[in-house]
Amino acid sequence: MVSHCNLLITTPFILQPIKSPRPTFLTTTPKSLTLICKVEPKPTSARPQKKTTMDVPDKPSRRNARKSSYGTSRRSILKKTFSQEQVSFTAPVSDDPIVAIIGGGMSGLVCALNLEKRGIRSTVFDTGLHGLGGRMGTRIIDPQPLIFDHAAQFFTVSDPRFAELVDGWSDKGLVRQWLGTIGALELGGRFVPLPSSPPRYVGINGMRPLADSILSQTSMVNVVRPCWISKLEPFNGMWHLLENGKPRGQFDALVIAHNGKCANRLLAQSGLPLIAKQMKRLELSSIWALLAAFENPLPLPANTDGFPFEGAFVKGIDSVSWMADNTKKLMTSQSSGPHCWTIFSTAAFGKRNKVPQESIPTATAEKVKEAMLEGVETALGLSKGSLERPFYTRLQLWGAALPTNTPGTPCIFDPYGRAGICGDWLLGSSLEAAALSGMALANHIADYFESGGARSDEFAVGLHNEFQLLEGHDIGQFPGLESKEQINKVAGEAEQTIEDTVVAKEVFRFVL
């Protein structure tokens, strides 16, 4: 790789300044970037050798520790975000570039797959302890086993490019159409089925295997997991990634395929102010997820054909917005055994009961769990205290659950910093949106590499887009059901159709 910055030489682990102590990342400041370059940079490479970028940070003193915790406050992150100087890589792009993708959810993995289709290698870093997939996680509890999709529940397909991916999964027996009844459940147990079109799809063994399947389609993608990338450093013409001070490799370009507080922290001092600014504008809801296994089937209202529902958008109850029976959805042949339900709160309830998701106080967990179980009871029209107690529960807070606004661009790319963003929020809030965003960014980066990196201006995308409010249900966007109001409307129409059918049947009987 040819370096843009001739100030440094590298050994595998030690980076040394050899000439000027102050490298110039920005050789030609593009007009659009001059405004944000307010603060003189203090690149780590300009520091004395013992404090080079690849060194483990000094152990903080108590005073420093206070400072550093202050340093991650929202105010501090905002300040850093807006005052950092833009990095600009000016050296020609390598003939065999490698891209770092931070985030192994749908968007990051699809990005890796599509980079490979264009002949580009990548490394995907993901924090997942149990596996890849991010918000398309599935939890299996042995030995019974109990199975729960604990974020994405089902998906719809509207774009032919996503349809191609889904067809591939279908051919491998990984997905199928979810034919169970889904509807709107109103307080008191009134259930109105929703139309089965457009088709809804589920992972046959849950959503997570889809992530593994994307990876299995690749041979040029390296995965590092579990790994929490905590620092990005532009250095010697490359992006250097670190996990708590430990070097995790150097790359020609960066993809940020995650969002929320973690991404804001990572970008706050990265030298990518435009990208950081767009990320900072993203707003996310918080949603509680309760996984609950019951010995017996819940007493559910049935649809007109007499089948109890398998999934319901719950209306009029603060603590529950969605409930689905994973056993019916995923274990279709199982006639007995435990019943595994995924129950989501509303975003409003999530916001009111928000706590740090990494350390949920026991009292909060208990309060939230009870409120959600009560919500289920009320939704089903059961008398107080009569809902069977689940024999297994697990509560999780999705602190950065779903986007509530969007810049409405398939991806964001900063050609000067050779860094981009993909994720569901750029186009909406669904698995399909995430996949399309990953594809878009991969193709954009491949086009940029093919151009040799010389005409950077042409490749800037999404850096200044205004954000719009995102319509959708609390758990995402589904064609035909773009908002809660639409669910009410569609449910209303479905109800009318049912009533008409009943009246028609009555008239028919009367005429006969």
List C-alpha distances in Å: 56 to 100, 265, 497: 21, 18, 66
Sign of CA dihedral 300, 306, 309, 310: positive
Three-state DSSP class for 175? strand
Pull the structure tokens for residue 5: 């910055």
Part in contact with ligand FAD (CB under 6 A); list of ranges 63-71, 121-129, 138-146, 442-450: 121-129
- Work out which of 221, 238, 266, 365 binds ligand FAD, going by CB under 6 A: 266
Pick from 151, 157, 153: which is nearest to 170 by CA?
157
CB closer to ligand FAD out of 185 and 257:
257
Give residues 207-246 in contact with ligand FAD (rule: CB under 6 A). 227-229
Taking the least distance from each CB to ligand FAD, the nearer of 128 and 193 is 128
- Cβ 8 to ligand FAD shortest distance, Å: 25
Q: How many residues sit in the footprint of ligand FAD (CB under 6 A)?
A: 40
Residue 107 contacts ligand FAD per CB under 6 A: yes
Decide whether 134 or 417 has the Cβ nearer to ligand FAD.
134
- List the one residue from 43, 104, 193, 407 that touches ligand FAD (CB under 6 A): 104
Decide: is 127 part of the binding site for ligand FAD (CB under 6 A).
yes
H or E, element range at 202: strand 201-203
The answer to whether residue 410 forms part of the interface with ligand FAD (CB under 6 A) is no
Q: What is the C-alpha radius of gyration for the chain, rounded to an integer number of angstroms?
A: 25
Query: Binding to ligand FAD by residue 94, rule CB under 6 A?
Result: no
Nearer to ligand FAD by Cβ, of 121 and 135: the residue is: 135
- Decide if 178 contacts 76 (C-beta within 8 A): no
Residue 414 Cβ vs ligand FAD, minimum distance, rounded to whole Å? 18
Segment contacting ligand FAD (CB under 6 A): 90-98, 133-141, 376-384, 439-447? Answer: 133-141
> Which of 364, 313, 381, 308 lies closest to 339 in space, CA to CA?
308
3-state percent helix, strand, coil for the chain, nearest multiple of 5: 30, 25, 45
Q: CA-CA distance, 363 to 89, in Å (whole number)? A: 50
Q: Structure tokens of 419?
A: 């860094």
**Judged by CB under 6 A, which of 77, 87, 136, 442 binds ligand FAD?**
136
Closer Cβ to ligand FAD, 57 or 337, answer by number: 57
472 sits near ligand FAD (criterion: CB under 6 A): no
Q: How many CA atoms lie within 13 A of 183 on its CB side?
A: 24
392-398 and 419-421: which strand pairing? unpaired
Which residue type, as a one-letter code, is found at position 253? A
The pattern of x and - marking residues 150 through 169 that bind ligand FAD according to CB under 6 A reads: -xxxxx--------------
Q: Is the CB of 146 or the CB of 202 nearer to ligand FAD?
A: 202
- Does 423 sit near ligand FAD (CB under 6 A)? yes
Rounded to 5°, the CA angle 475-477-483 comes to 90
Cite the DSSP H helix spans in 172-248: 208-216
| Cis before 247? omega within 30 | no
The SS3 call for residue 30 is: coil
The verdict on 139 binding ligand FAD (CB under 6 A) reads no
Determine which residue in the list 476, 487, 491, 494 makes contact with ligand FAD, applying CB under 6 A.
Answer: 476
Q: Where do contacts with ligand FAD occur on this chain (CB under 6 A)?
A: 102-108, 125-128, 134-136, 151-155, 227-229, 257-258, 262, 266, 287, 289, 344, 398, 401-402, 423-424, 429-431, 434, 475-476
